[in-house]
Amino acid sequence: MLKFCLPSLCVEAFHRFVQLNIQPDLPQRLDWRIGILGSGFIVNDCHLVAYRKAGFNPVAIASRTRANADKAASRHGIVKVHDTYEQLLDDSSIEVLDIAVPPNAQLGLIHAACVRRTVKGILAQKPLGMNLAEAREAVSLCESAGITLAVNQNMRYDPSVRAAKSLLADAALGEPVLATIDMRAIPHWMPWQAELGWVTLRIMSIHHLDCFRYWFGEPERIFCSVRTDPRTKFPHADGIATYILEYANGLRCVGIDDTWTGPAKEGCPGDLRIQWRIEGLNGLAIGDIGWCRNPHTTPSTIRYARKGDAQFHEPQWTESWFPDAFIGTMAQLLVALEQGTEPAIGGDDNLKTMTLVEAAYRSVETKRAVALSEMTA
């Protein structure tokens, strides 16, 4: 099995305090035959870079244009290039399908794969469809076809996010009181987003909402407020998003997803970051995702302390969200296939994240807090 190391880890602080489990579980087989649908940035600079690093086995690729698929295949050493998505779906040698296309194209490909019933597993992009209804259909299709579905909610595999999960699992911080994720970043919106008319809630906030769920479980309700981003010229509503998650035990989670961040591209010095913070009764943890900087592969960080500590513990690692987290999202599907279990980010689990996103949109529309129990219809 492939081993990972943390060459710059602060070993003394690491072992004195709590074991931080930042690495994903890996499959026994690394040669699962993976077919890739898509050839954009997320495939070229994240999926395939991560897969080669982990020793996974992408064997075929197709894209909307043969030329783009050829470029990706040449860069990453993929032997087989199909002319169309349909040709790749017809390739019965492929065991696992990695779908990395815009959300308005994803459900059709999932449906086509389920009709053929040749692959054992599908890794789908987030969001899992255009809305909650499409996500439910995708899950239902895969269940009926006997195909294991996992979703690429890759922020769960950022090292600092997993380190925070370790602290919470160990009760190192005590009962959580307040948690925040504060994004001050300028994402590169894709052309298809102009066609769909929405940007932040389903593309960036979905990561943070899923992260809160990963850390703390299911909230009772959400209140969300949005406004347009002055820099984004195509029509949209959810450019800048703010939201509060209310938990039954009193915990409050607050997200600020600021895609404007001031005129950082218009002549003003910028302050770009994604930072998180968890405050507990017995301790405090603060993290930085390390994304949206130059280069985008800047390692994430964490510092944490408990009552009685003289200073923060600050372990270090070389891994980053992009591309290293994409090892974890594929690995959790392959492990599930080997063990006959539900993936860590399976379709049913992701429906809860999609429900939370949909509740955020309903909160915006109704200008009130929306209970998750309202979203069952």
Residue type, 124: A
The CATH number given to 32-152 is: 3.40.50.720
Which candidate, 273, 295, 284, 287, places its Cα nearest to that of 317?
A: 287
In order of 72, 151, 210, the CA distances from 139 in angstroms are: 29, 10, 17
Q: Which residues pair with 224 in a beta bridge?
A: 243
Residue 150 and residue 122 in contact, taking contact as beta carbons nearer than 8 Å: yes
Q: Report the pLDDT value the prediction gives residue 17, as an integer from 0 to 100.
A: 55
Provide the residue ranges of all domains of the chain, joining segments of one domain with +.
32-152, 156-321+354-376
Q: Specify the DSSP class assigned to residue 204.
A: I
How many residues are present in the chain? 377
Which residues, in sequence order, are CB contacts of 120 under 8 Å at separation 6+?
95, 96, 147, 148, 337
Instruction: State the pairing for strand pair 273-280/283-288.
Output: antiparallel
Q: What pTM, to 2 d.p., does this model score? A: 0.94
Which residues, in sequence order, are CB contacts of 43 under 8 Å at separation 6+?
36, 61, 72, 100
Q: Report the pLDDT value the prediction gives residue 293, as an integer from 0 to 100.
A: 74
Average pLDDT along the chain, 377 residues, taken 10 residues at a time: 38 55 96 97 96 98 97 98 98 98 97 98 97 98 98 98 98 98 92 91 97 98 98 94 98 98 95 96 97 80 97 96 96 98 98 98 98 88
Residue type, 169: A
Spell out where the chain has E strands: 33-37, 57-62, 80-81, 96-99, 121-124, 148-151, 176-184, 221-227, 240-246, 252-258, 273-280, 283-288, 301-306, 370-371
User: CATH second-level architecture of 156-321+354-376?
Assistant: 2-Layer Sandwich (3.30)
Q: Helix (H, G, I), strand (E, B), or coil: what is residue 10? A: coil
Kind and range of the H or E run holding 206: helix 206-216
* Helices assigned H by DSSP within 27-158: 41, 48-54, 66-76, 85-89, 103-116, 132-145
